[in-house]
Amino acid sequence: GQQLNQSPQSMFIQEGEDVSMNCTSSSIFNTWLWYKQDPGEGPVLLIALYKAGELTSNGRLTAQFGITRKDSFLNISASIPSDVGIYFCAGLRFGNEKLTFGTGTRLTIIP
Amino acid sequence: EAQVTQNPRYLITVTGKKLTVTCSQNMNHEYMSWYRQDPGLGLRQIYYSMNVEVTDKGDVPEGYKVSRKEKRNFPLILESPSPNQTSLYFCASSLGLAGGTQYFGPGTRLTVL
């Protein structure tokens, strides 16, 4: 099955820095979702995007649904220690009741 | 408290010994799903269920079975586990898939020797 290409695979940043990550696909998706997974736990939904071009914020997190419908972006501003974890994008097509996940971006904050 | 529970959380077994991982949700969700997570591969869907007695294959169904006899339960069955099924497994549920928030369980780490 198809998987989404997510980059970067890992990031090492200092506290306070901004973070950007993206997700791309060769196919169109109708919904984009961003999840975060803390160590030892299941993923938790952060942001859901439903329209091409849509820009949605959740606190320090901002995500965008790409105009082409083949990509999505997640930005985290002023990172804090609790932002550490793995971030996954996921896409959904109408009529296909399956979520396709990206390979994940592991975020580490350097003291 | 709304939650998805999985049992066991950790399991070490041997090749060929049948096992079942249970999943239960208390939110009256129609949609339930099983994923496996492997390093560098993210989450891949094994099976999903749209409602009671309605199940369908995900992207990596080989070697797995599921059943949905009740709305709240969605067990994952490995009839004859093999070492390549060593992985971290997650169950998830949602009211509906399109736009619905998927709630994930805490995960089951399975090792097949």
- pLDDT at res. A49: 93
Question: Is the model's pLDDT at B47 over the cut of 80?
Answer: yes
Residue with the two structure tokens 């220690």: A81
Instruction: List B24's β-bridge partners, or say none.
Output: B5, B73
Residue with the two structure tokens 């799903």: B33
Averaged confidence pLDDT in chain A: 92
CB contact under 8 Å between A41 and B107, yes or no, is: yes
Question: Is the model's pLDDT at B67 over the cut of 90?
Answer: yes
Q: Give the closest of B97, B101, B107 to A42, CB-based.
A: B107
- Interface residue A101 vs chain B (CB under 8 A): yes
- pLDDT at res. A111: 80
CB contact under 8 Å between A99 and B42, yes or no, is: no
Q: Are A68 and A80 in contact (CB under 8 A)?
A: no
Distance from CA of A41 to the nearest CA of B (A): 5
Q: Give the closest of A90, A97, A100 to B48, CB-based.
A: A97
pLDDT in tens, A3-51: 789 999 999 999 999 999 999 999 999 999 999 999 888 999 999 999 9
Using a pLDDT cut of 70, give the percent of chain B over it: 96
Question: Is the model's pLDDT at B97 over the cut of 70?
Answer: no
Averaged confidence pLDDT in chain B: 93
Residue A2 banded pLDDT, cuts 50, 70, 90: low
Q: Give the closest of A2, A41, A50 to B99, CB-based.
A: A50
CB pairs under 8 A between A and B: 70
pLDDT in tens, B2-15: 799 999 999 999 99
| Residue B55 C-beta-side C-alpha neighbours within 13 Å | 20
